Chain A
Amino acid sequence: MLKLILFEIKKMWNANFFRILILALLVFFIAYYVFVYINTTRAEDEIKLLDEVIQRTEQTIEEDSVALESAEDSEVKELEESIAFHEEWLEKEQTKVEIFEEENWDVLLQMEIDNNEPMIGTKKFQNETHTYTHPTLFTYETYVAMSKWMQDKDVVPLLPVNILSYVTLYDREVNSGSAADSEFIMNIIKENSNKYSSTSIHYLFRLFGLLFSFIGVVFFLFLFGDIVTKEGLGRNGPIYLLQTQPIQRYKILASKFLTAILTSLLILVCAVVFSFIVGSIFDRFGDWDYPVVIYGEDRTFTLMSMGVFLVKATSLFMVILLFSYTILFLFSILTKRVLVAIGLTLGALFVGMKMSEGLVTSSIAQYIPFQYFSVFEVVTNELALTLDNFNLTYANGIISLSIASLVMLIVTYVVSFVQSKKGN
């Protein structure tokens, strides 16, 4: 079997179409890293911003001091309070500058904990436990928990660090005069919360976020779309060369399937290696333990290491590919035409996903493999929360996709067997 797989890999690698797609993927990896690198907020960016704020604050203090000299009695108190407030503010900002200069993340995180932890009690006291106004109780709780997690594990936070650049699924509005303002501000907060980092692990997180989607599945289907049909099934093609060697027939199809799976895994491993190399060269490796929020029922949550999260996401995506390849193989054997097979596979996946949308609240939702194509949302339970069905879990996704793949493989084998018995 190994010899067949190696031969399949050789055939694939020698095909120009495959090479072009791999090259395009590499170009995309590089371009995306450049994009992430440019958009990464660094300590020096924060210092620059703080310097501007400090300058403005100092100016305000100076103006207030000048005004104080010629102020009337009624204005004195107000101006003194303003100066005191700005001086206190200035001190904080200067402390922050020192923190960023020294990269003393522990202190920064402690400041965030000190600033936000009291809000948890306040929110509970005010009975604001189930509101949707940013920052919600859930947002404070997860923010503080993440900060503590990062402190405990010596994790470098993603910049900027403040509650206004962090949202959760429960944050749907802000306190503002009008709905339009609320939406506008919410969009700014969401934009700020979309933090970039050019470290290896965070780049990989973003890269896999893009790749582990329907578009990623489409790419891989095109990459391996002709693995069966190029053999010229049902006519005098290279399949006859394989079939006149001392190889059992089922191994020919099985080796192709394994080649597609193993090569897909290899490509993902290459993506990991690429991330590690470019991240380490241009930034640093990053923190395996960076926290990812996993949503629970009734506004509960747990935190997961980003490394573990990526492993789980990769495994789910691999099972999705496995399932997609079984459909591709079945259509390849039935139609014997590459574009038709790819088209029908994409059509089947699309229709399956659309149809499953209508069944999200049904008791069988977790058994439908098409429910799990949003990999990150499944692993974080965001999908379960959004669709209000906490049966749509990572574990259920792995199980239902695996079982569906097995069923499809059996169907494909039976179809292939019947076709060979019919004598093409």
Chain B
Amino acid sequence: MIIEVSNLKKRYKKQMVLKGIDIQVETPQIIALVGPNGSGKTTLLNCMTNLLSFQEGEVRLLGKKHTDASLFLKVSYLQDNRILYGNLTGYDHMKFVCSVQKIPISKIKEVAERVGMEKYLKKRVRNYSLGMKQHLLLAMVIINEPKLLLMDEPLNGLDPTSAINMRKILLELYQEGTTIVVSSHNLDEIDRLTNTIYFMKDGALLKESLQDISSKNYLITVNDIEKAQKVLKDKSIPFSVSGEYQVGFEETDIDLQSFIDCLNDNDITITDIEVQKVGAEKRYRELFEEELSS
């Protein structure tokens, strides 16, 4: 078992912040942990890694009890950048990780290049931008080639290029057999990473929404938008208009081929088809309707 969390309960004073969480992961996968601020995502990850204690329940990672420090040889946790030492360089941080993890120092350069931080590796962290810090945090957690990688808001402060690079690295790690649990607010990125999403609400894991909640959204670029709108209205097909030349629809309303046929039959030329996954956001909207409306 890679992750085994049973009936995990934690309270701060009288407030219950984790209400009996159960997670079982047997095979490598990417799991997204999604929920509004204060829903308990970070607390859950911190409890799993023994940074916070909890009142009830049990956590085992890679078969070891969560209090066993040796599990961090194969479990990594990407945390908030406040864990970094401003006076030290990125190299110093990685060298320290290498020394306690018994990893050859030579690997630092390789990982720094993979993450794209070789240019500022020897600069002090206090001079790093938010994105640079995220790069360093990523480098520090992947240098030991973990079997389980827990990540708390890894995309914070990343520019689009870095975000794409991080996604690429995570997918590579997953291909290599690493299980990744990633907490994030960036629902688009999550959609690109995984279909397995755990929603957290008020300290509880919403189990009914665990698997395959994603669907697709298409944006079709046409030569005559007015005609397309008329045709779709006449046929009572739900659609939306985006810009001057695009009509959009959801896969759940009509399949792509039927939509294309409908437009083609009325001599409307399609010049482009853009596919978007909308699972995370769609499901999020459903689950957190109350918060969104308030």
* A11 to B93 CA separation, bound complex (whole angstroms): 10
B51 within 8 A of A: yes
Task: Tell whether A126 is near chain B: CB-to-CB under 8 Å.
Answer: no
Given A7-B99, A232-B82, A241-B84, answer yes or no on A248-B69 (Cβ-Cβ < 8 Å).
Answer: yes
Cβ of B24 within 8 Å of any chain A Cβ, yes or no, is no
Q: Is B101 an interface residue (CB 8 A)?
A: yes
Per the 8 Å Cβ criterion, residues 73-130 of B in contact with A are 73, 76-77, 79-80, 82-85, 87-88, 92-93, 96-97, 99-101, 124
Provide the A406-424 mask, 1 if CB < 8 A to any CB of B, else 0: 0000000000000011111
The chain A residue sitting closest to B80, CB to CB, is A236
Contact A15 B80, beta carbon cutoff 8 Å: no
Say how far A3's CB is from chain B's closest CB, in angstroms: 4
The answer to whether B83 touches A246, judged by C-beta atoms less than 8 angstroms apart, is: no
Q: In whole angstroms, how far apart are the Cα atoms of A247 and B96 in the complex?
A: 12
Residues on B with C-beta less than 8 A from A238 are 82-85
Contact A423 B100 (CB under 8 A): no
Considering only residues 384-424 of chain A, those with a C-beta below 8 Å from chain B are 420-424
Chain B residue with the shortest CB-CB distance to A7: B96
**A216 interfacial by beta-carbon distance below 8 Å:** no
Q: Taking CB as reference atom, which chain B residue is nearest A17?
A: B87
Contacts of B76 in A (CB 8 A): 244
Does residue B223 face the partner (Cβ distance < 8 Å to A)?
A: no
CB distance A423 to B99 under 8 Å?
no
- Take A7-B96, A236-B79, A423-B52 as given contacts and tell me if A245 and B72 are in contact as well, using a CB distance cutoff of 8 Å: yes
Q: A3-B99, A15-B87, A423-B10 are in contact. Are A247 and B82 (CB under 8 A)?
A: no
Most chain A beta-carbon neighbours within 10 Å: one of B12, B85, B88:
B85
Say yes or no: A244 contacts B72, CB within 8 Å.
yes
Task: Contact check, B100 vs A246: say whether CB atoms are below 8 A apart.
Answer: yes
Map CB proximity to A onto B40-76 as digits: 1 under 8 Å, 0 otherwise. Answer: 0000000001111110000000000000011111001
Which of B80, B100, B101 has the most chain A CB atoms inside 10 A of its CB?
A: B100
Measured CA separation A64–B115 after assembly (Å): 99
Q: Which residues A126-164 have CB closer than 8 A to chain B?
A: none
Question: How far in angstroms is the closest Cβ of chain A from B73?
Answer: 5
Task: Point out the residue from A6, A240, A249 that lies within 8 Å of B83, measured CB to CB.
Answer: A240
A-to-B contact residues, CB < 8 Å: 3-4, 6-7, 10-11, 14-16, 232, 236-241, 243-249, 420-424
Top-9 shortest CB links A-B: A423-B53, A14-B87, A241-B83, A3-B99, A246-B72, A244-B77, A240-B83, A245-B100, A246-B73
Q: List 18 A-B contacts (CB under 8 A).
A: A3-B100, A14-B85, A232-B82, A236-B79, A238-B83, A240-B79, A241-B93, A243-B51, A244-B51, A244-B76, A244-B79, A245-B101, A246-B72, A249-B69, A422-B53, A423-B10, A423-B12, A423-B52
Interface of B toward A, CB cutoff 8 Å = 10, 12, 49-54, 69-73, 76-77, 79-80, 82-85, 87-88, 92-93, 96-97, 99-101, 124
